[in-house]
Structure 1
Amino acid sequence: MGSVIPMEGVNLSVEPKTTSGTTMILPKTEPVDEFTPESTNPNGMSFENRRDSGGVHSEYNRISELFRNAFGEKAGERREEDVVVGDYEDPDCRALVAVDNDDQVSDIVIARRKYEKRSSELVRVTDLKPEDETYFRDLIRRTRMLYDSLRIYISLEDENNQHLGPGRQTRARGDLKAAQMMREHGLWLNRDKRTVGAIPGVLVGDVFLYRMELCVVGLHGTPQAGIDYLPANQSSNGEPIATSVIASGGYEDDEDAGDVIIYTGQGGQDKHSRQIVHQKLEGGNLALERSMHYGVEVRVIRGFKYAGSSSGKVYVYDGLYRITESWFDVGRSGFGVYKYKLVRIENQPDMGSAVLRFAESLRDRPLEVRPMGYISLDISFRKENVPVFLYNDIDNDRDPACFDYLLKTLFPPYVYQHVGNGSGCECADGCGNNCFCAMKNGGHLAYDINGILLRGKPVVFECGPHCSCPPTCRNRVSQKGVRNRFEVFRSRETGWGVRSLDLILAGSFICEYTGVVLTQEQAQIFTMNGDSLIYPSNFAERWAEWGDLSQIDSNYVRPAYPSIPPLDFAMDVSRMRNLACYMSHSSSPNVLVQPVLYDHNNVSFPHLMLFAMENIPPLRELSIDYGMPDDSTAKLAICN
């Protein structure tokens, strides 16, 4: 295990500087994620009055009941002075509480609760061994996966509230509720120590869609303030120390040149983000100055609008910066502001925010941005909805261009023998949780209205060619093919690999793993001929991890229905394949394999559909857990 070093070097007694003038100290806030009763539960629908439409909604209602019981404070027991809607200086004292009013409609308010305080001990984690890095990365991955699963479940609140009318159909704050539930169960990370520097398991370039997720993993510990710091009253020497900042252009005097940031301190703004009074060297401002004095680096997270995000915004961890200068200046509005020069520490991976912008330019102008290295601008030859690039700037290998691109898996003809009229639903206007196909899934549909997989299952039934529902039906997701733009690329570490030029959201469909299906007898013959075969039974059942809420709900049971027999077939990819064949192996993957049926009902031969297990940033390599391949598969040798 790596070393955890107490930050003893900051225990120096230095008199803090002060300035005179009228001041207004407020956290450097992010108005997009402001906590209000309307943002946490805009629909105003009580948990207990939501309609149960089947298995997923029952699961959701059970979780909601846990949530309600955990925060069971009633309106009659609540004092008016306990309600907090604006003060974010101490994020450790608030909870989301369901409160019943006279109309039997529940609102969510921010109420003070007693929580275990964040640690006041500053530490730096160093000398992590490879196995330590793997452990912490997997811990972060599983925590984020639980957060996303919870958030997606809670978003079903919108669907349950459709009957309230158009005026009540606004976005539920599932991000806030999911974070609060995880906090109640002690699942927030990095609370026992205040880590200076890198957070183990969080990589430069990791993308977060919500501010609360930063708090859950411990990257930035405050839900609103742009400066996270150890307060003076908790510090061993009585001085605050900053640990992370969020740079999102919220202050008019901010300047961001990438490796160098001129960061404006906090305070002095009105509710419209206008500077109206002088800032003062207190709180986060003093913490940044003291971090500069002691040479303590800070984590920088950039927040900006991004069209590919479900929240409309992303937060990207861009690495460690040192504060090299601080000064008091007159800002654009004529009021005094504190400014800090942050310089990025060398020898770190590329900034995630820069990678997102680079990928965006690649999508539109690939040959202009990277004139060398492209072998093909579409190895699918327009079979996919979007082109699949082939890129190699390492050597002369052109192997992926030598295969026929296989859009969908080829099954033996007998697989389709029992497919016919009467095998599909009759939902002319689109499917709901009471339709025939939903019943085959256990009483509910597998996807939300955005096409996100709600929970991994042994098999998912989608609507097929004999269903009456339209092509826009929410139960037709994976059969529609690729939606993101991908690039098969040559890697020095993994041979051929796959990466996306788009941000892929957790739970989103990626592509099908295609091949020519063979029986075991056929597979033996093809193996003797030296052909490349894939055995689906070897894929690890990572689908069981997506939507696993056992840490939140003690009654959670791993899905066992609908069930399928063991996958007793092979797939030949020696002559025809698609982009999935080039995905690398990982024991901590970001892609799962989900069996899906839609064009036939033979459960012994499902399609192998790939879904994202986490938010995957552009240009990050996609990986699958191929399990423990035996000598007959040689999977890793096929593509790498």
Structure 2
Amino acid sequence: MGRPRKSAQAAQENITVLDVKPIRTLAPMFPAPQGFNTYTPPNNPSFVCVTPYNLPNPESGSNPPGFTGGQMPLPEFFMGASGAPTPKALKGPKLKKPVLNPTPVQMKSPYVPPVSTGEVKKRRGRKRKSELITPDTTGTAGTSTGTVSASPAKVGTSTGKRGRGRPRKLEQTPKKQKEYVAGDITVVPLSISLNPREAVEEVLMTFDALRRRILQLDEANQVKNAQHLKAGSIMMSNDLRVNRSKTIGHIPGIEVGDMYFFRIEMCLVGVNTQTVAGIDYTKGEDEDRLAVSIVSSGMYENAEDDVDTLVYSGQGMSTKNDQKLVKGNLALENSLKRGNEVRVVRSVKDHANPPNGKIYVYDGLYKIRHSWTEKAGSGFKVFKYKLFREPGQPDGISLWKKAEKWCIDPSSRGDVVVADISAGKEFRPVCVVNEVDEVKGQPGHFTYTTTLTYKDGINPSKQTEGCVCTTVCLPGDTNCSCASKNGGHPPYSAQGVLVSRRSMLYECGRSCGCGISCRSRLTQKGVQLHFEVFKTADRGWGLRCWEPIRSGTFICEFTGEVMDSSGLASNEEQDDEYLFRPVYTDQSFKWNRGPQLLGEPSSDDLGEAAKKLNFVVSAKNMGNMSRFINHSCSPNLFWQPVVHDHTDEGHPHIVFFAMKHIPPMTELTYDYGLSEGESAKRKTCLCGSHKCRGTFG
């Protein structure tokens, strides 16, 4: 038997009027520019006067009440966790050549970690009269999500009786979230400039700092976890990401050749929001579903020999059934018909982490030209798509493949003027390349050395008190005296990556019981990468690497003659273009991002500050490859004081580490800083960075 119908009077009594307001309180809503939320907070003025960027109203000469002159709407890719924009000018990414115009698609990312908000979950099946679906105008990045609001008359009520087939509706209690200390890390997207490139790099460096610290703690506790997934979860739950909306075409802040070691890194910056699947596509009806990005990771039968074309296999395991034209496969087929650009990420082997290590390389924009089906080795049908790279883009995977061949056979490198400038003193040869002019020969006359020479009576010969570890120092060993000097942990990971930047780093020395294979002797093992000295267009000679460099990787030591800076004549300093002066540009060690998210104090809270060093190192007459590292106001290296063979912390070794992931053939730079005093003669900076100070030295 069916249920008896309710009378009209009873139905009328159950109607609840929600949010009744006088009509005079309604504010007019005007169309917002594409990519911006039309929601108007109640405290803001109801009328919006739209004028050109950074210009006052030409008619009135002033701005409406509540609005400030010179402010421009904040793009969606750079909204923080609070959704509050910062009023600074937006600068676009610097590309060698313009890439096709991006087409933002207002879709919520398919990868969103389950974060409890305390809201009532939507019930499956038929809607109740007591439920009202309203748009959530507080969603991050301007995306519109649907939340379920329950009528006050129905929430938390119980009559003691239960209807047939209807479970009792209980009081909704918000789940308590884990709270992280609110420090500078929670405002990463708001504490930097509005340059998209800098925003992307800030997010990636924050993620990697978290991952390195989690790995260090897990090694000490002998725990095997996926540290990158834990770091990614912390980043996502705290909304530390950029480029949230799915975009067809180029993404602000992303450059061709960018490298990623984990899929979650691409999710955080919007390159590809899938953590497992290869095809990222927009949500919607079948005919509106378009592919925006694919990752060719070698899981399927993909042809990757050609650097300008790619044959991509469809989605779905072909070892059990035929692939079907659904989800990602359908999106690729629609993109073939529509002709939209698709971002392509290719994978290469990570030779530093064999046998299964991978590095993901963003190869730019492609278009799908052909599709067909064929039988795979398993005998089942597989969809195939052929993509062609769009012209006018910087070199991507092609440059990686060239550099990989040079590492295998250094003699295949062209335009070499000196085969090995180190004359065999480095573990790998350091060649000199000139692709700019016809000048041959070695750049300058100097003696190549891998050690320091002390002058001006400096004699730091006292040996340090070593640890009693045997063979190697182990993580979590509380008896290791060297680890205790570095905060209780070895300074490097098992892969040889620096975990945290410190005012002084203490390595194991000759008086320690461990051997040269100990991880805490990293900088004493010499240069391990393939470097080349090359002629730049306008800054003399520079240094770059043939291999991909991970953030925190040891580059080299600055060698030469150590002198007392107080006795250095001003004219002698100006004539020396190969002088290293220890000037800190990051007093607070911002490279150690994210300790607050792990419940740890920051460097400022610990009172750790940079130590002033009163010496210089001159590589004018003798030095190594580090003498060719140029200055940049947006560097990719930083220098770190290290002590291992003496106890004189006033004259440590100066070694360079990678500040961020560095793709092959990228010039290596560090910030020379600005000298104190009015008499200092500074030099004109030609770094070309958007943060260029104009001078250095």
TM-score (norm 2): 0.66
SS at match of 1:547: coil
CA contact (8 A) 2:469 2:512 kept: yes
Question: Which residue of the other structure, out of 477, 501, 507, is the alignment partner of 1:456?
Answer: 501
State the 1:544 CA deviation. 1.1
Q: Is 1:317 paired with 2:377?
A: no
Whole-Å separation in 1 of the counterparts to 2:347 and 2:567 = 54
Whole-Å separation in 1 of the counterparts to 2:550 and 2:579 = 27
State the 1:290 CA deviation. 1.9
* Alpha carbons of structure 1 residues 196 and 381: separation in structure 2 relative to 1, 3 Å: same
SS at match of 1:141: helix
State the 1:95 CA deviation. 7.5
Cross-structure match for 1:75: none
* Alpha carbons of structure 1 residues 555 and 429: separation in structure 2 relative to 1, 3 Å: closer
Q: Is 1:364 paired with 2:408?
A: yes
1:194-239 Cα distance to aligned partner (Å, 9 max, x none): 2221222222111111111111221100111110001225x9xx61
CA contact (8 A) 1:533 1:635 kept: no
Whole-Å separation in 1 of the counterparts to 2:460 and 2:293 = 61
State the 1:599 CA deviation. 1.5
Whole-Å separation in 2 of the counterparts to 1:528 and 1:535 = 10
1:401-458 Cα distance to aligned partner (Å, 9 max, x none): 52211312323475445614x6322333433443222233333332222221110011
SS at match of 1:300: strand
CA contact (8 A) 1:133 1:200 kept: no
Cross-structure match for 1:125: none
1:39-82 Cα distance to aligned partner (Å, 9 max, x none): xxxxxxxxxxxxxxxxxxxxxxxxxxxxxxxxxxxxxxxxxxxx
Residues 448-597 of structure 1: pairs in structure 2 closer than 5 A: 448-492=493-537, 494-524=539-569, 527=572, 530-532=575-577, 534-541=579-586, 544-550=589-595, 552-553=597-598, 555-558=600-603, 565-597=611-643
Whole-Å separation in 1 of the counterparts to 2:401 and 2:627 = 28
Cross-structure match for 2:259: 207
State the 1:479 CA deviation. 2.1
* Alpha carbons of structure 1 residues 564 and 286: separation in structure 2 relative to 1, 3 Å: closer
Question: Which residue identity is paired with 1:336?
Answer: K
* Alpha carbons of structure 1 residues 448 and 138: separation in structure 2 relative to 1, 3 Å: same
Q: Is 1:247 paired with 2:296?
A: yes
State the 1:399 CA deviation. 5.1
Question: Which residue identity is paired with 1:481?
Answer: G
SS at match of 1:410: strand
* Alpha carbons of structure 1 residues 405 and 120: separation in structure 2 relative to 1, 3 Å: same
Whole-Å separation in 1 of the counterparts to 2:230 and 2:533 = 38
Cross-structure match for 2:335: 291
Cross-structure match for 2:428: 386
Cross-structure match for 1:183: 236
Cross-structure match for 1:232: 284
Question: Which residue identity is paired with 1:276?
Answer: K
State the 1:175 CA deviation. 1.2
CA contact (8 A) 1:375 1:398 kept: yes
Question: Which residue of the other structure, out of 321, 343, 346, is the alignment partner of 1:302?
Answer: 346
Whole-Å separation in 2 of the counterparts to 1:293 and 1:440 = 63
Question: Which residue of the other structure, out of 194, 198, 204, is the alignment partner of 1:138?
Answer: 198
The number of aligned residues is 510
TM-score (norm 1): 0.72
Whole-Å separation in 2 of the counterparts to 1:253 and 1:427 = 49
State the 1:636 CA deviation. 6.5
* Alpha carbons of structure 1 residues 5 and 389: separation in structure 2 relative to 1, 3 Å: farther
Question: Which residue identity is paired with 2:448?
Answer: Y
Cross-structure match for 1:12: none
* Structure ranking higher in helix proportion: 1
Whole-Å separation in 2 of the counterparts to 1:521 and 1:444 = 36
Question: Which residue identity is paired with 1:144?
Answer: L
State the 1:315 CA deviation. 0.9
The structure, 1 or 2, with the larger RCO (C-alpha pairs under 8 Å, 6+ apart) is: 1
State the 1:480 CA deviation. 2.0
Whole-Å separation in 1 of the counterparts to 2:262 and 2:394 = 23
CA contact (8 A) 1:415 1:602 kept: no
Aligned-residue Cα RMSD (Å) equals: 3.5
Whole-Å separation in 2 of the counterparts to 1:484 and 1:275 = 41
CA contact (8 A) 2:371 2:386 kept: yes
Gaps of 5+ in 1: 8-88, 97-113, 122-131, 163-168
CA contact (8 A) 2:588 2:603 kept: no
Whole-Å separation in 2 of the counterparts to 1:473 and 1:425 = 12
Whole-Å separation in 2 of the counterparts to 1:608 and 1:475 = 16
* Alpha carbons of structure 1 residues 526 and 479: separation in structure 2 relative to 1, 3 Å: farther
SS at match of 1:471: coil
* Alpha carbons of structure 1 residues 449 and 326: separation in structure 2 relative to 1, 3 Å: closer
Whole-Å separation in 1 of the counterparts to 2:681 and 2:483 = 38
Q: Is 1:599 paired with 2:645?
A: yes
State the 1:299 CA deviation. 0.4
Cross-structure match for 1:23: none
Cross-structure match for 1:92: 112
SS at match of 1:92: coil
State the 1:465 CA deviation. 2.4
Whole-Å separation in 2 of the counterparts to 1:253 and 1:467 = 51
1:567-607 Cα distance to aligned partner (Å, 9 max, x none): 22222222122211212222222111111111222121121
Q: Is 1:258 paired with 2:271?
A: no
CA contact (8 A) 1:487 1:501 kept: yes
Considering only CA atoms, is the larger Rg found in Structure 1 or Structure 2? Answer: 2
Whole-Å separation in 2 of the counterparts to 1:401 and 1:530 = 14
Q: What percent of counterpart residues are identical?
A: 35
Whole-Å separation in 2 of the counterparts to 1:335 and 1:416 = 74
